[in-house]
Structure 1
Amino acid sequence: MVRSVSALLLALLVTACGGRSDREVVRRDNDVFSSQPTRQCLTTLKSANVRFTPLPNQSFSGGCQTIDTVKLMSFGTDTTNLGPMTCPLAANFTAWAKHAVAPAAKAYLGSEVVRIETMGTYNCRNINGGRSGRLSQHAFGNAVDVSAFILKDGRRISVLSGWNGKPDERAFLRRLHQSACKRFGTVLGPDYNAAHANHLHFDMGKSMKDGSAYCR
């Protein structure tokens, strides 16, 4: 009887983890992060009235991992598809939404952004879909892809149609691209290559040897 109960509990545990044998959860405590800079980053989020939940550290096969990440719950603008994000990425993204997206929408489009659409954050894959052999910053929850903006007046401004679209949409999106270059380590848009025709890629990695942002 004891063996049967133990076997059942083990099966339930495996099911709860999605059956993934390549995942290792190593978080000790939801409120403990591994470095002082990250703990300071959490303080920055709280002081900016950002609601978030610390996530368990996880390691996956292939070198992918999510270490010291958070789940953004609320920061003033509804945003879709946000998964694990490193704290610095979350802090810069929320500041960009508040100090760049909001004023740019009023200035160029005469309306308010009520929703930011993204294509997600964490994704265990290589740069350029596998051709480079190097892990993308998405593989560490250190990148986010922004695809569109929903305005209060009902308009949807997408990167795909707006980058080379109406003059006001072009100006709006280019302003956001420019402002992102001041906050993120790497910023890639439609002018970079065809793979980025439908989104703006932001990550906290430094691609330049001198530590400056890589902005294309």
Structure 2
Amino acid sequence: MHLRIIASLLSILLLSSAGLPEKGPLPEQKPATTETAKPAEKTEKKAKEDPLPSKDEKPAQTSPETKPSPDTPSIETPESKPEPVLTIAPEDGKEYAACLTALKELGATFREEKRIDDGKGCGIDKPLTLQTVLPGITLKPEGKMRCETALELARWTKDAVLPAVRAALENEGPLTTINQASSYICRLRNNAKTGKISEHARGNAIDIASFTFKSGKSIEIQPRDEDSTLAGAFQRAVTATGCLYFETVLDPGSDEAHEDHLHFDVIERKGGYRYCR
């Protein structure tokens, strides 16, 4: 009897030390899949119910409009620049009168003409037609130009050409004719289709083609840099002295367009600069 009681007490002690509950069965564990699935369902549901960003969140950026590259031409057409308006410069009345007086004193003959306006900047405000450069020296053919151009031509002939004739061509007799190739004419420089307007189109220029003497001999303008004759010396002398009277002097050595004449003009340049070649 005592032995059974002792055995029962030992069994109770052993069960208590094993940590088993005194009453009822052990609690059942819930499957892990049930607990992890619920948060995912809540997240998905929230995303459907609340698609808008919160106040602290920045809205998603949409793709910016495509900007044209630097090489892409602009759609807008730029306004075309207006072409410069070429006008005929008015001449000072007092200066013109003084020029006419000086031209008459040199013995030149001429007739005054009406104002020329051929459009596109071509024309002369106070033109004249020069007939004789000096007494006994005809301009052939007669030429239209500004008074200043005619005056410088007469001065050059008197002070430079006639002394060169006496020194180099005295046997040919006096100079009787200066043959011109171009005076006033409405055109661009060197008869080009594009470019700047010629000084001939403003009455500022004259081209000399040859000189004729009483003997009938003519000295034609041509390349003479290596010409060792008196004709060559004469041409080089009158060409060099031309720049004492005209602001621009072009001779056969300047370019192909001037191989057969001397170009003289009275265009004003900054600082009194002269172009002679």
Q: What's the TM-score, normalizing by structure 1?
A: 0.78
Q: Distance in 1 between matches of 2:216 and 2:224?
A: 15
Q: Secondary structure at the match of 1:83?
A: strand
Hey, what does 2:12 align to over in structure 1? none
Distance 1:163 1:153, change over 3 A: farther
Give yes or no for the alignment of 1:88 onto 2:126: no
Structure of greater relative contact order (alpha carbons < 8 Å, 6+ residues apart): 1
Sequence identity (%): 32
Give yes or no for the alignment of 1:57 onto 2:115: yes
After superposition, where does 1:1-216 map in structure 2 within 5 Å?
Answer: 34-74=92-132, 75-76=134-135, 77-110=137-170, 111=172, 112-130=174-192, 133-160=195-222, 164-207=226-269, 209-216=270-277
State the Cα distance separating 1:166 from its structure 2 match: 4.9
4+ runs of 1 displaced by more than 3 Å?
161-166
Report the AA paired with residue 203 of structure 2: G
Distance 1:164 1:196, change over 3 A: farther
State the Cα distance separating 1:172 from its structure 2 match: 0.2
Residue segments in structure 2 that go unaligned for 5+ positions in a row: 1-90
Report the AA paired with residue 212 of structure 1: Y
Q: Distance in 1 between matches of 2:192 and 2:268?
A: 20
Asked whether the 8 Å contact 2:205–2:266 carries over to 1, the reply is: yes
Q: Distance in 1 between matches of 2:114 and 2:220?
A: 33
Residue segments in structure 1 that go unaligned for 5+ positions in a row: 1-32
Q: Distance in 2 between matches of 1:192 and 1:162?
A: 12
1:189-213 Cα distance to aligned partner (Å, 9 max, x none)? 0111011000000010135x32222
Asked whether the 8 Å contact 1:38–1:87 carries over to 2, the reply is: yes
Q: Distance in 1 between matches of 2:196 and 2:118?
A: 16
More displaced 10-residue stretch of structure 1: 169-178 or 68-77: 68-77
Asked whether the 8 Å contact 2:130–2:139 carries over to 1, the reply is: no
Asked whether the 8 Å contact 2:176–2:214 carries over to 1, the reply is: yes
Q: Distance in 2 between matches of 1:161 and 1:203?
A: 20
Hey, what does 1:8 align to over in structure 2? none
Bigger radius of gyration: 2
Q: Secondary structure at the match of 2:222?
A: helix
